[in-house]
Each structure stands twice: as C-alpha cells, then as structure tokens.
Amino acid sequence: MQDKRFLAAAAVALAICGAAHADEPENNAVRIGYAKVRFNLQSGDLTGPPGTTPPGLKIDAKDLDVFAISYERRLGDNWAAQLQAGIPPTLTAVGAGVAAPVGTVAKARIWFPTAMVRYTIPGFSVVRPYVAGGVTYTFFTEQESSPGYNAAVQGAGSSIDLKSSWGAYGRVGLEYPLDKQWCINVEFSSFHLKTTATVDTQTPGFGTISRHVDLKDAPRIFGATIGYRF
C-alpha cells in the first residue's frame, strides 16, 4: 500500500508540474528509450534456524532490459529537474556459491523510480555533456520463489519478501540535438541497492522455517533515449 501511494503521489506531481508549465515552450522534455541493467550482486549467506540451512548458499541476479521514460523540467540555463520511471522488468534471482546448481530461486518485479537534478556542462557546440545526481526508491512486487528453491530446502512451498530501500543515484551522459525540439541521449548510470530477502518455507514435519539473506549492489545502467522538448 505504501508503494502504491508513493507512485500515485509521483504521478500527480508530474501531471501538475507539466500542466502548470505547458505554456512555456522548451522548458519541459519527455524522454523514452532503452536501458541495460547489469548486476554484480554481493550476497551474504542464506541463514535460518540452527541445523536448517547449509552454509554457503548465496544469490545472484540476471541482467535486465528496461523500457525507460522520464520527464524533465528546466530550472535555468544549465540546470534541470528530472523524474524517471519505466515499465518494471522481472528480476530473476539465481543461486550462487553452493546454491549455483539450483538455478532460478525467485522472481519479482523491480521498481526504481528516481528523482534527480541534472547539470549540462557549458561550452560544447555539437554535443552537450551532462552529469546528474539524485535518489531512487527501490521496491518489489509479484515476488515468488521457484520450485527449484523449494526442492533445495525440502519445502512444500515458500513466500518471499524483499525489503524496499532508498539509495543514491548518479549519471553521466551526452545529449545530441537533432533540431530545436528533438534530441538523442546516451547515458551511463548507477545507483545504490541494498535489501534483505526473507523467505518463509512450509516444511513438512517442521512447520514454517524463516530464512534471510542480505543483498547489496551498485547496478550499472547503459541507456539510450530520444527526447522531445515542449
């Protein structure tokens, strides 16, 4: 419920901001495009009650393809505020360490809406290099464990919960104007991701066994977008 309220508030703020300044040409921009998210997940060991969980069970994540969309509001000659979202991709978690043979252990939709301030470096005639910094809120929906995980821990079924988190977001990029309104952007971004996964497994003869694993990363994001100013 908290995640839905956050998204609703962001959408309302975006609509109000766009409507209030629609009469000011070229102060607004919308960008859409593609991004590749590469993970290098740092995983702790999956832990549970004594005697229930072998040591060395870790988690990794597969890379993602993301459709991105953002709204930008110019604040001055070189400054702009930006809200970024996109269609949430499905994150696939796989076993690592001792758990590598298990394969897929869980799936979830990952959301990371971001607010940032962008600074365009002046003095360039053909392209416009820029840097940006801000904050992202990462949360997960449609979380489910895999049959492979349940079999590995001898469970009849499991529920999984990934903790939401705030993190710093940074970006560098280049903008190439096609004309007064249209432009192309190429970007490299990264953000801080930290979460804890809690998995409750229904285990025959033992009842519910709860296990936890701490995860952190600084995913690398390579993106290309097309923008329209209005």
Quick check: is 103 in a domain? yes
- The residues pairing with 117 across neighbouring beta strands, listed in sequence order, are 81, 133
Q: Which domain holds residue 110?
A: 27-229
With CA atoms as reference, report the closest residue to 67 among 21, 6, 111, 15: 111
Q: What is the pLDDT of residue 194?
A: 95
Quick check: is 102 in a domain? yes
Strand 79-87 to 114-120 pairing: antiparallel
Quick check: is 7 in a domain? no
Q: What is the pLDDT of residue 5?
A: 44
CATH number, domain of 34, equals: 2.40.160.20
pLDDT tens per residue, the chain (230 residues)?
544 444 444 444 444 444 444 444 579 999 999 999 999 999 999 999 998 888 999 999 999 999 999 999 999 889 999 999 988 999 999 999 999 999 999 999 999 999 999 999 998 888 999 999 999 999 999 999 999 999 888 888 999 999 999 999 999 999 999 998 999 999 999 999 999 999 999 999 889 999 999 999 999 999 999 999 99
Q: What is the pLDDT of residue 91?
A: 96
36 contact partners, CB below 8 Å, separation of at least 6: 63, 64, 65, 66, 221, 222, 223
Structural domains of the chain, count: 1
Task: Judge whether 99 and 152 are in contact, CB under 8 Å.
Answer: yes
Q: Which amino acid is at 217?
A: D
Alpha carbons 26 and 99: distance in angstroms, whole number: 53
Quick check: is 76 in a domain? yes
Quick check: is 184 in a domain? yes
**Predicted TM-score of the model (pTM):** 0.81
Quick check: is 134 in a domain? yes
Q: Where do runs of H (alpha helix) occur along the chain?
A: 2-20, 147-152
Q: What is the pLDDT of residue 22?
A: 44
Q: What is the pLDDT of residue 12?
A: 41
Q: Where do runs of H (alpha helix) occur along 79-174?
A: 147-152
Q: What is the pLDDT of residue 26?
A: 79
Q: What is the pLDDT of residue 124?
A: 87
Helices and strands, number each (H, E), in the chain: 2, 15
For the beta carbon of residue 191, count every other beta carbon within 10 angstroms: 23
Q: What is the pLDDT of residue 180?
A: 87
Quick check: is 19 in a domain? no
Quick check: is 9 in a domain? no
211 contact partners, CB below 8 Å, separation of at least 6: 46, 47, 48, 52, 53, 153, 198, 199, 200, 201
